[in-house]
Structure 1
Amino acid sequence: MAPIEVGNVIPNGTLAYLDDSSNIQYVSIHSFAANKKVIILGVPGAFTPFCISGHVPSFIEISEVLQAKGVDEIICISVNDPFVMNAWNKTFPENNHVKFLADGSAAYARALGLEIDLSEFGLGIRSKRFCLLVEDLKVKVAKVEGGAQFTISSAQKIIKAL
């Protein structure tokens, strides 16, 4: 599939998370994002160097500013299971607004056309690093990184588009 781009409607897919009782819950991305302005942040993996030190923290730090500019939801998607995503979320005690959702088998990364094979590093199929600004399911801004870069998909870059 061709990579998602500005003007496209995001594909539907099911992502997972743990509720407060540690039960796995599932959410349809279309039901979650319909009639909303949503930032979808995609990362190759929880606890990976760029993801934990820069990419995700950049959104946590200015999440209230993003919301003041009309963003209803900020979600972080990674090709990990919901238990890992829950544990990763707990490493950010200051996080009140970014939701961590699991794409355990990379099905949603594949549907977006943003999967990457990192098998040579022992990671298997993962998601490219990206940030999408989606309004009522339609992509308004798409910032997709190439390789191991972290240059265009930070919160500071996406806020300029609002």
Structure 2
Amino acid sequence: MSIQVGDRLPEVVLKRIHEGIESVDTRALFDGRKAVLFAVPGAFTPTCSEKHLPGFVEHFQQFRDKGIEVACMAVNDPFVMQAWAKSQHVPEGMMMLSDGNGDFTRALGLELDASAYGMGLRSKRFALYAEDGVVKQLHVEAPGEYKVSSAEYLLESL
């Protein structure tokens, strides 16, 4: 069963590159703050690179003006997430989180079996808004769609 509105985000250790590879606990990332977490099936994939991440890059300051942290996550390694961030001109302060083994994705119940495409376990495309680690909004895309997890949709719903 997937996470629901009102649930606390599960505690899992993710990776990111800040000053070297850094392990970050989801409680440390999300407790005590307002945050948007959006997940993509894969860095450098077409919709993720042409629409999903660019939308959050474009509207990043609007989220920050509302006091909301922004985090992007994919079932990719931290080096891929770092390279993707550079190629997409991700602003300083947007977190690029690696769920390399899919532990957080599985804990959320939002895994996608993309093995038919040679991609293995990935995350479904989604966006959530949490306050103090508790999910207040959850928008999970239907397979192959990109509508409810966009930055624009989320900004309108806040």
- Report the TM-score, using the length of structure 1 for normalisation: 0.94
Q: How does 1:13-92 map to 2 (within 5 A)?
A: 13-20=12-19, 23-71=20-68, 73-92=69-88
**CA distance in 1: counterparts of 2:18 and 2:64, whole angstroms:** 23
Q: Which amino acid aligns with 1:4?
A: I
Residue aligning to 1:153: 149
Equivalent pair of 2:49/2:88 in contact (CA under 8 Å): no
**CA distance in 1: counterparts of 2:37 and 2:130, whole angstroms:** 7
**CA distance in 2: counterparts of 1:37 and 1:43, whole angstroms:** 20
Equivalent pair of 2:34/2:67 in contact (CA under 8 Å): yes
Which blocks of at least 5 consecutive residues in structure 1 are unaligned?
none
CA RMSD across the alignment: 1.0
Equivalent pair of 1:129/1:145 in contact (CA under 8 Å): yes
**CA distance in 1: counterparts of 2:22 and 2:156, whole angstroms:** 33
Deviation, 1:93, is: 2.3
- Report the TM-score, using the length of structure 2 for normalisation: 0.96
**CA distance in 2: counterparts of 1:16 and 1:84, whole angstroms:** 11
Equivalent pair of 1:131/1:143 in contact (CA under 8 Å): yes
- Ranges of 4+ aligned residues in structure 1 off by more than 6 Å: none
Which blocks of at least 5 consecutive residues in structure 2 are unaligned?
none
Between the two proteins, the alignment pairs up a number of residues equal to: 158
Equivalent pair of 1:45/1:126 in contact (CA under 8 Å): yes
**CA distance in 1: counterparts of 2:43 and 2:90, whole angstroms:** 17
Deviation, 1:94, is: 5.3
Deviation, 1:19, is: 2.3
| Aligned residues with identical type, % of pairs | 40
Residue aligning to 1:3: 2
Residue aligning to 1:102: 98
Q: Which amino acid aligns with 2:76?
A: N
